[in-house]
Chain A
């Protein structure tokens, strides 16, 4: 049986019982992962509030290394998408002196941006 544990009570070595997705549907962390401090930080960053954790004795799947790759890829995809969106938003005004400055400031914060749907029809 798995158990729901609040993020503040999660400690290193616990095993996630299910996949955790980011907003784009990419797997941040696959079920079966033994949690490291990095994983826990990532979950906090993504504002995951609680996690289903495997009880001791449940079957264990060690796929940490592959997971680390998935995590890295999905992070860089998210950042690239934010950068592309900012470029699109500024496309017609980048020549302007003030807007050029603002563009650089925004671009340097791409990693912190959570995108919402764009465009007409959805926004």
Chain B
């Protein structure tokens, strides 16, 4: 990832994490953090707090009772979910302008569908809650590198999209044909610069090559499959109209049945009907 790190450091205008989101990320990474620490930090950013409450109270989460305070939200959802909400809320607003070569909404729909599918697979795999939340945010941000290309390295994006259009191929294959890096490495590098834990960064970095992940092979295989499931049911669009093959080793690692995959599809399609809450929280 060394070259990509250099690339990320060279893009001067890249958004840095807002202080509050950075602080929450840091708090969540620490073992000694209490709910009131998170609450105290979030209370400094009223806009962010109210966006989080709005999403938490949307039909996407579907809690039976209204959650009125951040303290309640922290207790009910857990630290990682709050971090994820703060981070996704920031990413959506930071990268929400219209893109020249991409349908912004279709892009985030694909990302959200991948997150929802990843969360569902995590449930089937019975991974610990913390891993499950890492998988959700990794699903949501797995294509962050494409956003960076769109907004800051437009000429590279144009080259890739030109090849995608000419050869009707995967975005990833087009990248391999004309670039020294790919979106997975680029996105992982940006998340790393934001000090997201390696357990998240690695899931993003290896979502197309789960076999290369050093640790956490099951979550990584799950993000790989979640991306493919989201494409199979045409949820949004990540820049191409094709679908990569399921990596056979990843499939074996997951040890899921086809009924499980069907259930993940059904759940994802149903959840995506509530997706607007994520996009209209401002």
A residues adjacent to B (C-beta < 8 A): 47, 82, 85-86, 88-93, 96, 98-99, 101-103, 105-106, 109, 112-123
Contact = CB atoms under 8 A, between A and B. Distances in A.
Given A106-B265, A123-B239, A116 B105 contact: yes
A109 B231 CA distance: 13
21 contacts: A85-B234, A90-B243, A91-B242, A96-B245, A98-B245, A98-B246, A98-B248, A105-B265, A109-B266, A109-B269, A113-B235, A116-B106, A116-B234, A117-B103, A118-B237, A119-B237, A119-B241, A121-B165, A123-B103, A123-B107, A123-B236
A6 to B, nearest CB: 15
Nearest to A92: B242
A44 B196 CA distance: 41
Interface in B208-264: 228-229, 231-237, 239-246, 248, 251, 258, 261-262
A96 B251 CA distance: 13
B174 to A, nearest CB: 10
Interface of B: 101-103, 105-107, 109, 161, 164-165, 228-229, 231-237, 239-246, 248, 251, 258, 261-262, 265-266, 269-270, 272-273
Given A82-B234, A102-B261, 11 more contacts: A85-B241, A93-B242, A96-B246, A101-B261, A105-B232, A106-B234, A106-B265, A114-B273, A120-B164, A120-B165, A122-B237
Contacts of A123: 102-103, 106-107, 236-237, 239
Contacts, number: 98
Contact of B233 (A91, A101, A113): A113
Contacts of A96: 245-246
Q: Which 3 A/B pairs are nearest by Cβ-Cβ distance?
A: A123-B237, A106-B232, A123-B103
